Amino acid sequence: MKFQQETLSDIANTFCSTLQALIPLPICIGLLNIASTDIGGVFPAMDMLGVDGQTLCAFMFGTCNLPPPPKLDLNTLFKGKMEKPCPRAFSTCKREPLKVLHISDYHLDMRFVAGSEANCAGQLCCRVFPYTNLSAPIQEPASIFGNYLCDTPEAVGRSLFQNVPKVTGYGWEDFSFGLFTGDLVSHDLWELTEPYALAEELVSYQQFFDGMGGVKMYPTLGNHDTFPHAFTAFPNQSQVLPANASYGVQQEWNYGNVSAAWENYGWLNASEASTVVTSGLGIYRAVTPEGLVIISLNSDVWYYFNLYAYIGSNTVDPTGTFGILIDYLLEAEEENKAVWLIQHVNTGGSTDYEALPAATDLFYQIVDRFNNTIRATFFGHTHADELGVFYTNNGTVQNAQTAASVAYIMPSITTYTNLNAGFRYYLVDPESFDIMDSVNFYANVSNTNEWAKNGDVTWEFEYSARDTYDPEHKLLAENEPLSAAFWHQVTEQIHTNQTMYETYIDLRTKKFRPFTLETPAKKNLTLCGLRSMSVPLFEQCLGSMASTTSFL
């Protein structure tokens, strides 16, 4: 049975009226109107009475148990190359470290209106919606530099790039390259159109290019970097989807436009950029001038809000994404090249999870198998400053000796919701491509009135991971990298030392005030997240399903 777009749109008012206690009427109607084609195409293609439906029920309603992930034939997946090379020996950095900029979750708001309501209820603030009561007096006028309930105004984006050299002490010529781990478009999912979403992407990339003084940027796609939000169809689903919900109309326009921009700016070469489109998956592999391999994955493959990801959600690699990743990693291993993985939606490491279990389980096994080759993985999405540790043997024993890899979950530029803005750079060993330090900066949004008087945002040094998490320099020798073993020892301190725990949760928000301690239940989520880089491990640690609707 194929639902038609008009049918679902026609019932939007009636349907959404019954849900007003859960979701504001204009938001519900807008989402259903925008996504009706996708819903009408996807639901009939899903096994609603089987594990597809069970997984959807667990994530969307929390009333079903998640099915266990499928059994993996790792020998076949890894092309018979199950045995790892001998563990590499970590050495101290002997040369001047590379400087690598990292930003994430830009969320430019081209509809931002200075002077509009900055303390609204029920939707994104600092703008004028069609249904806003314009006669109501403004309680808190939006500053030109934004507010804690708003996305990024253009003035903040411009300030970021102007101030990176000033606050870091490095000129743009000192940075080897940059990473961007996704999300350019504003959070008003119910108000978006395809042209608007694409415009926000291309305008944002142009701002990056104009602001970074010629430094290369290696980007990845976020769940907001498409239209409708996160609804990414895949080429191998063409047999089960109607034409108006197929890959051809869902993503081809987007992949083609953004990859052309990446090539035009010189961030990717023609071969690298073409893979974004020809793969049908929005992924690519690039090699930096220094010889580091960067593999960018499209995390909509495993994102819970992407309805297309539920088709065969509990089968092994239904889109083929992980098969491509494994091929890339086998090649890098054979050639003894270091790899960084970049993607947007985290597979763990947070107080919540929004990735489908089967995909995270396979991702975990891949990181374990290739931990000699993968130097680090990088995510965005949560808007918070977080981390997670992978362990060998699927985390059955978790200690410094079994720690296999670390995931850096990057804080956001956007302040949405109740966060300060932040960015960081890494100091990187130019031979091993291990990370020597993560140096973080933030902008305290409670100072927007002062910024308005001064005409610019004040970006401040926040912390060095090396100095903050090893203040007495007992865990690391001088010039020794931030290894997975080091980060495991940090998690031990966060577990056992109240001061270090409070430091971690304070930095997670980029020092948002007032600082508040977590409830015991939220603390359990934090502690489980640090060592659970897959949904099954998080479930095992926590013992119950967590909320999955925090970040969108």
What total of structural domains would you count in the chain? 2
Q: In terms of domains, do 357 and 476 share one? A: yes
Q: What is the mean pLDDT of residues 542-549?
A: 56
Whether residue 325 contacts residue 366, with contact meaning beta carbons closer than 8 Å, is answered with yes
pLDDT class of 397 with cuts at 50, 70, 90: very high
**Residue 42, pLDDT above cutoff 70:** yes
Q: In terms of domains, do 18 and 99 share one? A: no
Per the structure, the complete domain to which residue 17 belongs is given by 1-45
**Residue 122, pLDDT above cutoff 70:** no
Q: In terms of domains, do 80 and 29 share one? A: no
**Residue 14, pLDDT above cutoff 80:** no
pLDDT class of 60 with cuts at 50, 70, 90: confident
Phi and psi of 368, rounded to 5°? Answer: -60, -50
User: Any idea which residue has 């020798």 for tokens?
Assistant: 477
Q: Is 67 exposed, middle or buried (0-12, 13-18, 19+ CB in 10 A)?
A: middle
Q: In terms of domains, do 455 and 387 share one? A: yes
Amino acid at site 140: E
DSSP H helices, 238-341, are 247-250, 252-264, 270-278, 321-334
Count the residues in the chain.
Answer: 552
Is 122 contained in some domain? no
**Residue 128, pLDDT above cutoff 50:** yes
Q: What is the mean pLDDT of residues 155-159?
A: 97
128 against 80, higher pLDDT: 80
Q: What is the mean pLDDT of residues 513-519?
A: 95
Per-residue HEC secondary structure of 229-255 comes to CCCCCCHHHCCCCCHHHCHHHHCHHHH
Q: In terms of domains, do 246 and 312 share one? A: yes
How far apart are alpha carbons 17 and 356 in whole angstroms? 30
List the one residue out of 411, 352, 359 whose CA is nearest residue 386: 411
Q: In terms of domains, do 240 and 361 share one? A: yes
CA distances in angstroms from 59 to 65, 226, 301, 467, 535, listed in the order given: 9, 21, 15, 39, 12
How far apart are alpha carbons 502 and 508 in whole angstroms? 10
Q: In terms of domains, do 216 and 341 share one? A: yes
Q: In terms of domains, do 29 and 97 share one? A: no
pLDDT class of 1 with cuts at 50, 70, 90: very low
Contacts of 82 (CB under 8 A, 6+ apart): 74, 75, 369
Is 8 contained in some domain? yes
Is 117 contained in some domain? no
So what's the pLDDT on residue 154?
Answer: 97
**Residue 531, pLDDT above cutoff 70:** yes
List b or e across 142-151, with b for residues whose CB sees 16 or more CB atoms inside 10 angstroms.
Answer: bbbbbbbbbb
So what's the pLDDT on residue 548?
Answer: 46
So what's the pLDDT on residue 316?
Answer: 98
**Residue 391, pLDDT above cutoff 80:** yes
Tell me the per-residue pLDDT of 290-326, one tens digit each, with 9 for 90 and over.
Answer: 999 999 999 999 999 999 999 999 999 999 999 999 9
pLDDT class of 178 with cuts at 50, 70, 90: very high
So what's the pLDDT on residue 39?
Answer: 86
Whether residue 343 contacts residue 307, with contact meaning beta carbons closer than 8 Å, is answered with no
Amino acid at site 354: E
**Residue 356, pLDDT above cutoff 50:** yes
**Residue 103, pLDDT above cutoff 90:** yes
Q: In terms of domains, do 4 and 98 share one? A: no
Tell me the per-residue pLDDT of 198-218, one tens digit each, with 9 for 90 and over.
Answer: 999 999 999 999 999 999 999
Amino acid at site 159: S
Average pLDDT over the chain, rounded to whole?
A: 92
CATH number of the domain encompassing residue 223:
3.60.21.10
How far apart are alpha carbons 109 and 342 in whole angstroms? 24
CA distances in angstroms from 227 to 34, 189, 194, 274, 343, listed in the order given: 9, 9, 6, 21, 18
Is 132 contained in some domain? no
Is 125 contained in some domain? no
Q: In terms of domains, do 22 and 160 share one? A: no
Question: Strand pairing of 284-287 and 293-296?
Answer: antiparallel
| DSSP letters spanning 468-488 | HHSTTS-SS-TT----HHHHH
Query: Which percentage of the chain shows pLDDT scores above 70?
Result: 94
Query: Which percentage of the chain shows pLDDT scores above 90?
Result: 80
So what's the pLDDT on residue 21?
Answer: 60
Is 315 contained in some domain? yes
Is 139 contained in some domain? no
So what's the pLDDT on residue 4?
Answer: 47
Task: Quote the radius of gyration of the chain (alpha carbons, Å).
Answer: 22
**Residue 443, pLDDT above cutoff 70:** yes
Tell me the per-residue pLDDT of 486-502, one tens digit each, with 9 for 90 and over.
Answer: 999 999 999 999 999 99
pLDDT class of 137 with cuts at 50, 70, 90: confident
Is 208 contained in some domain? yes
**Residue 243, pLDDT above cutoff 90:** no
So what's the pLDDT on residue 135?
Answer: 59
Cα torsion through 104, 105, 110, 112, rounded to 10: -120
- Which of 24-33, 276-285, 290-299, 438-447 is least confident? 24-33
Q: In terms of domains, do 228 and 366 share one? A: yes
Q: In terms of domains, do 78 and 37 share one? A: no
User: Any idea which residue has 């083929």 for tokens?
Assistant: 320
Q: Is 427 left (phi over 0), alpha (psi -120 to 50) or beta?
A: beta
